[in-house]
Amino acid sequence: MEIIAVFRIESFNDTKVTTYTKSQKPKKSKFEPIDSLPLFASEVIKIGRGKACDVRIDNPAISLHHATVWSVQFDSDTLPLVYLNDSSRNGLLHNGRDMRNGETRMLKDGDTIEFKTAGVFTYETLEGEEDTQDKSNITIETWNISDSLIGSGSFGSVFVASSTTNYHKLYAVKVLRPGSNNSEYDLLRGVQHLPLPKSRIYICDFGVAKKLTYSRTSTSVGTIEYSAPEVFNIDNKGKAAVPYGYKCDTWSLGIVTHVLLTGISPFYSESKEQTLLQARQGQLNFARKQFALVSKSAKEFLLSLLETNPRLRVDIDGCFECAWVVRNRSKLEKFYRDKIVGTQN
């Protein structure tokens, strides 16, 4: 197994830190004192006072299972991400800041983990790893986009992000290459993606797409929850009663945007029939508590996307003219240049 990092251990108050050393002879396998601990790829390490832990800390202030460290590597082209979870009663200090029971944080080179009255573990990545990723973090209003790259694809990259007002929770943020500046845009203009469910955004899935030779089509395919009303307005032969065009995609974009802003789908119901009915009515309920922190311009953007009449619905080019996008476009383009273009040079 590949070693990805090392913990340097400094103990306090005569505390013993030990780990299990395996031997070909079971009776000779035992816990040995350590002052450093290697971390392997995809390894899970339980730390505490209990016998079931991989690393034992002999100190009464330490819980039976005090903390867990584990690593995740999504593919060979990205660095492993290493996480720390607090499962203790007396707490941990991560870089001098208290952690809460059940809280998880991501570790970076040089981070310290203090087990109160027992010792400090210093996390060190292997030499050279720090040069493989961009070291600059980007802040967009109250969000901090870290340099930790989860993965990249043809249309963008996924980074770890956190809120500057709530650093306890981590998020995965996908940074898409702006279509209007790429050759992919021309390709996508020839494909109607129809449903674009949030659960599939991480995959470029053309399984329910249709290659176009004309500007309008009449095939009824896709996921009802994410499809425009005109797509499922079908005749008795299963064909769309009224041919539809590219604007069915901006409806799907509206559904995804609604889910991203609020965490709920605007027209979803337990039955397909009710979902279709609510989508055809197109009534958005901005009085819901989930919209409490959503700006007026963001709501207007949703209304322009989720217009039931495709003739009045905004198209892709029109999206870039909406106030919500215009207001943040310079920040997003700077972020794109720093995070995507910068990594390709």
CA separation for the pair 257, 187 (Å, rounded)? 23
Longest dimension (CA), the chain: 81
Q: Is 238 left (phi over 0), alpha (psi -120 to 50) or beta?
A: left
CA separation for the pair 157, 149 (Å, rounded)? 7
Of residues 218, 263, 215, 219, the one with CA closest to residue 243: 218
Residues 6+ apart with CB under 8 A from 226: 195, 196, 197, 252, 255, 256
CA separation for the pair 199, 74 (Å, rounded)? 18
Coil/strand/helix, residue 121: strand
CA separation for the pair 284, 112 (Å, rounded)? 48
Q: What is the DSSP string of 6-57?
A: EEEEEE-TT-EEEEEE--SSGGG-EEEE-SEEEEETT-EEEEESSTT-SEEE
Q: In 209-244, which positions are buried (b, 16+ CB within 10 angstroms) versus exposed (e)? A: beeeeeeebbbbbbbbbbbbbbbbeeeeeeebeeeb
CA separation for the pair 16, 10 (Å, rounded)? 10
Q: Are 48 and 67 in contact (CB under 8 A)?
A: yes
CA separation for the pair 57, 66 (Å, rounded)? 9
CA separation for the pair 100, 168 (Å, rounded)? 9
**Annotated binding-site residue? 174:** yes
The residue assigned the tokens 């089509």 is 217
DSSP 126: P
- What are the binding residues? 174
- What are the binding residues for ATP? 174
